[in-house]
Structure 1
Amino acid sequence: MTAFRRIVAGALLAATIFLLFLTLKNPIGIKNNLYGIAREVMKKSLELQTFNWFAIEGAGFRVKYQPVDASVARLVLETAEAAYEPVNQMLGYAPDENVPIYIYPTKETLNKSFKWDGAVNAMGVYWAGAIRILSPLEWITDEENLTPVFQENGPIVHEYAHLLVDYRTHGNYPRWLTEGIAQYVEREVTGFVLPEETILGNYWYSLESMDDKFDLLPNQNLAYRQSLLVIDYLVEQKGFDVVLELLDLLAQGKNISDALEGTVGQNLQSFEASFRQWAAGQQ
C-alpha cells in the first residue's frame, strides 16, 4: 500500500470512529451514517482505481474517461448538466458535491468493474455514489445523430435519479420503488420510456419479490414495467408529492409498509392489492 493510500485509509477510519461516537444515542443516525460511510469508502475506492483516467468537470458532475472516449466526454458532461436542475427539482434534493460519472469503453470493461459475467447488458449503472455508463460510441451506430440519440435515450437521467433517491433516503428503499421513480423521472425529463410489456392474464410479481430478488426475476421487462406502473398509480391517486413524502419517511428509517401507511393509509399488502385492481383496468 502506498503512503497516499495509507493516509486515505487512516482518514476514513478516523472519520468512521468519530461518526460512531457522535451517533451512539441515535440508532437511526447510526444506520444512516454507517451507510453513508460505506458508500463514501466505495466511491473513493473507485476514484483510486481510476486515478490515471482523464477527467473534465462542470456544474454538478465530474466525468472520468479513457483516451478512446475523449470525443464523447464533453457530450456526457453536457447531457448530465442539462439534467441536473430538472431532476433535482422533481426529487427535491441536490448533491453536496459534484457527482462522478465514469465512461467505460466496452461492455466487457463495464461488467468487469462490477465483477459481472459477460452476459450482463447494461448501458448505465448507479452504485455507491457514482454513475458508470457504457460509452455511447459502443452502442450508438448512427454516428450523425449520436448526440440527440444519447441525450434522449442514454442512461444519464435514469441513473442520476437513482443516485438522488439513494442519498435522500440514506439507502433505505425497495428496489421496485427506485426503479419506478427513475423511469418516471426519465419519462418526464427526456420522454424516454421502455417498450410496454404485454401483461398476460393480469400477472404481476409480488412487490416483496421485486426488492432483493429484482435482478433474478425471469421477466425483467415486466419487472421494470410494473415498477413504473406502481409510481403511475401513486401519482394518479395522490400526486407526485406523495412519492416525495414516501421518501421522507424512508429517510427517517421506516420500512416501506409503514411508510405507505403514513402516506396513503395502506400497508404494503393492502397497497399491492389496490394497485393490482387499478392495473387490471389499465390494459
Structure 2
Amino acid sequence: MCIEEKALNAPPFLMKLVHVGHTDSLALSHFQQAALSYGQACYVEAIQHYLAGLKLGAAQHHYVYADLAKAYEMVGEWDTALACLDIALRLCPDSPTALRRKARILDEKACYNTLIAFDDFKEPPPLQFLEQLRVSLTKFPKQVVHSEFFNLTCHSEMNSQTVWNICRLIYRTYSELGEMLGYYPASPISISVANTNGHATTSQRSMPRWASGCYDGGIRLAYCAAGEPVLSILYALLRHEWIHLLIHHLAHGRCPVWLDEGLAQSIARPMFQSERRDLQHAIQKKCLLSCAVLNKPFNRLPTKYRKLAYIQSAAVVEFLIQQFGFPKIRRLLHQLGNGTPIEVAIEQIFGCSLTEIPFLQESAQMSNPAAT
C-alpha cells in the first residue's frame, strides 16, 4: 500500500506532509531543533519545527511522526498526537515506540477525561464576572480575579471563558477537597497560572524544571500550549497543589514526604495503567524505594527514581484510603499536627506498623538512590 493511501484518515494538515518523499538538510536541521526544543520543555516550538521539517522531507520516516506525537502529548493535544501515531503505524505497523506511545496517550486521555465533564464548562461567564475581571495591558498582559476564597492571576493571554472556567474549578476544588480533609483556608489563597512553553516567567523561576505546579504559601501552576490550557490538566494540577496546602495547615509541616505527595497525587487524578505496570515491575524486580528514601524531598532524588517515588507513594495512600477511609486519614493528619511521630500515629489509627503497609519497605531493596 502506498503512503498516500495509508494517510487517508489523517487530519488534512498531516495528509499534505505524507506526500513529501525525500529528506534534505534543512528538514534535518528542523528535526534537530525540534529535539532540542523538546529537551528544553519548549513543546510548542518543538511542534513547529517538526511540522516545518515534515513539509521539507522525511515524511516516509515513521519515527518523525512518533516524536511529533510525543510533543503533542506534552501539550495535552491527545487527539492530534493519536493521529500522528496512526500515520507512524501505517508507515511501520510493528513500531514498538509508536505502539507504546499510543497505548500511553490513550491511557492519559481516558484518565484526564474522567476528571471533568466538558459540557458543564460551556456556560458563558456572567456579566458580573466580566465586569470584575481586571485586565492589565502591560508588556506581559495578565488577568486578575479577586474572590472571597482566592486571588487568581493569569499571566498568559486567555479568553474570558477560560478564566471563568478556571475560577469554577477553583471553587469546586475548595469545596470538594475541603470536605474531604475537613479544612478550609481561613484567608484567600493566591493562585497564579502561566503558559511557559519552557520559558520561565518571574513567578515561575523558582519552580523545578520538571514540575508543573508548586505550593509555597500560594499555588503556582504552569502549562504549555499554543492556545488555551487543557482544563482537565489544570484541574489535576490545582487539586494536587491544593492538597499540599491543606496538609501544610493540618499537619503544620510534620507530614512525611511520602504521605504528603501520596495524598496529593492520589487525590489529584487516578493512577495511569502504565504507572500501575511500572509499580508492578518495581515489585517484581525488588526495587521499590525504602520508606527512608520516600521521606526525602522528591526533587532531590535522581530523575530516574522520581517517577517511582510518586507512583509508590500514591499506591501507599490509595491503599490506606481504600482500607480505612478519609476520616482516619484526617485523624492521621491532625495527630501529626499535634506532634505525634508518624510511627506512633500509624499504630494508633490504623493498628499496624509502617512496614506492614503495602509498598512501604523497612530498608531499601536497592542501592540508596539519594547517594547516586
Identical-residue share of aligned pairs (%):
26
Aligned to 2:221: 133
2:170 aligned to 66, 73, 80, which one?
Answer: 80
Q: Quick check: 1:115 aligned with 2:115?
A: no
Look up the SS of the partner of 1:102 in the other structure. Answer: strand
Aligned residue type for 2:289: Y
3-state SS of 2:153 partner = strand
Any conservation in 1 of the 2:239–2:268 contact (CA below 8 Å)?
A: yes
Distance 1:261 1:158, change over 3 A: same
In the alignment, the residues of structure 1 paired with residue 242 and residue 230 of structure 2 have an alpha-carbon distance, to the nearest angstrom, of 19
Q: Give a deviation string over 1:100-130, Cα, whole Å, max 9, x none.
A: 101233143258745357xx12221112x21
**Which deviates more from structure 2 when the two are superposed, residues 63-72 or residues 197-206?**
63-72
Maintained 8 Å contact 2:142/2:154: yes
Query: Per-residue CA shift, 1:232-270, capped at 9, x if unaligned?
Result: 2212332222211110110101221122122123343x3
Q: Secondary structure at the match of 1:209?
A: helix
CA RMSD of aligned residues (A): 2.9
* SS across alignment from 1:95: coil
Pair 1:205 & 2:289 matched: yes
Within the candidate set 65, 86, 98, 2:188 is matched to 98
- In 2, Cα distance between the equivalents of 1:94 and 1:85? 8
Tell me the amino acid that sits aligned with residue 205 of structure 1: L
Could you say which residue in structure 1 is the equivalent of 2:147?
A: 58
Q: What code does the residue aligned with 1:78 have?
A: R
Structure 1 residues 110 and 155: alpha-carbon distance in aligned structure 2, compared to 1, 3 A threshold: farther
User: Contact 1:60 / 1:97 at 8 angstroms: preserved in 2?
Assistant: yes
Give the unaligned 5+ runs of structure 2: 1-140, 363-372
Q: Which of 235, 252, 257 is the aligned partner of 2:321?
A: 235
Label 1:273 to 1:236 Cα distance change in 2 as closer, same or farther (>3 A): closer
Counterpart among 217, 239, 264 of residue 182 in structure 1: 264
> Of residues 155, 160, 180 in structure 1, which corresponds to 2:237?
155
Residues 180 and 228 of structure 1 are in contact (CA less than 8 Å); yes or no, is this contact kept in structure 2? yes
Provide the C-alpha distance between the structure 1 equivalents of 2:204 and 2:318, rounded to a whole number of angstroms: 34
Q: Aligned partners of 1:97, 1:66: CA distance in 2, in Å?
A: 22
Aligned residues: 212
- Please state if 1:164 is matched with 2:246: yes
CA distance in 2, matches of 1:170, 1:77: 27
Mapped partners of 1:66, 1:148: distance in 2: 16
| Structure 1 residues 170 and 110: alpha-carbon distance in aligned structure 2, compared to 1, 3 A threshold | farther
| Separation (CA, whole Å) in 1 of partners of 2:241 and 2:149 | 14
Superposition deviation, residue 94 in structure 1 = 0.5
**1:212, 1:276 → 2: CA distance?**
14
2:136 corresponding residue in structure 1: none
TM-score of the two chains, using structure 1 as the length reference: 0.65
Q: Secondary structure at the match of 1:224?
A: helix
Structure 1 residue 151, shift from structure 2 partner: 5.5
State TM-score, norm by structure 2: 0.50
- Post-superposition offset of 1:274: 7.7
- 1:193 aligns to 2:271 (yes or no): yes
- Aligned counterpart, 2:356: 271
Does the aligned pair in 2 maintain the 1:184–1:228 contact within 8 Å? yes
Distance in 2, Cα, partners of 1:222 & 1:184: 14
Instruction: Give 1:40's aligned residue.
Output: none
